[in-house]
Amino acid sequence: MTTCPVCNSRDMTVKRGSTLSGPLLSENLRVTDRSYGSTALLYRCRSCRFVFADPEEVHTVVRLYTDLVDLDYEATAKTRRRQMDALVDSIFAYRPQVKTLLDVGAGIGLMLEAARARGLAAHGVEPSKWMVDTARAREIEGMHEGTIPHPSLAMSVFDAVTIVDVIEHVEDPVGLLLAAADYLDANGILVLVTPDVGSLPARILGKRWWHYRPAHIGYFDKKSLTHAAEEAGLAVVCRTRASWWFPVGYVAERVTTFFPALRLVHHKLTGSRFYGRTVRLNLFDSWLMLLEKQ
């Protein structure tokens, strides 16, 4: 019988059936994948409201991440870095004396780059070999290939741990938070960013919500995310909405997924100076939570 990964309840309902056309592949897990509305079979826990994918459909996810390649993600690294700068600002706002940082699911090292620019000693753990190699080619130090707990970081503790758009990709979110908390100093702070399935955009768009994607196998709302944090011995310091920075052209291309009639306009403007500008995007459908040990 299926059990909720957050609260262990067996009282659940089917939220939506599978829309996957076949088994998950590593390319389905790209950060820049645009298969909006496509997911495995999703259950909704009646107790804590956590929404999660059928374990039988997604049990290979961690292994698939080792082969992940995402060239479009690397191409938008400059603008995506601005989100990491903003998150580092948030860390300093609540922990001015922070000196060390661990980024879980570090991608191509953008958080490490932002943290080191502010004088922090930073390490990152990332399962994708391509992303780790890309970070190293960008001369970003402190990358470790794999997942946490990582043998290279045994006995290490950090003033800050960041988990940015990662927890929705794992089968055991509480286990991830517990492992991350083990790396956290007693007075440290954990930064967590993840989509909010209870948000207004998620409810309005329904099955077409852009965070319904093959790579996302767990969806939190305020209640379930708070419950998961408490299960890991963490308390909420601050809860707000997350922002991203993207080139206008990147955003416009994504919009055509929902409004195909705009493709001609998008094609005509591609390459224009306007499309090269950077825009801050906050759709109020992702949580940014700062947590500390209870």
The model's pTM: 0.94
pLDDT for res 273: 81
- Across the 294 residues of the chain, what is the mean pLDDT of every consecutive 10-residue run? 93 95 89 92 97 91 91 92 97 97 98 98 98 97 97 96 97 97 97 98 93 96 98 97 90 82 73 84 96 96
pLDDT for res 171: 94
pLDDT for res 274: 78
HEC sequence for the chain: CCCCCCCCCCCEEEEECCCCCCCCCHHHHCCCCCCCCCCCCEEEECCCCCEEECHHHHCCHHHHHCCCCCHHHHHCHHHHHHHHHHHHHHHHHHCCCCCEEEEECCCCCHHHHHHHHCCCEEEEEECCHHHHHHHHHCCCCCEEECCCCCHHHCCCCEEEEEEECCHHHCCCHHHHHHHHHHCEEEEEEEEEEEEECCCHHHHHHHHHCCCCCCCCCEEECHHHHHHHHHHCCEEEEEEEECCEEEEHHHHHHHHHHHCHHHHHHHHHHCCCCHHHCEEEECCCCEEEEEEEEC
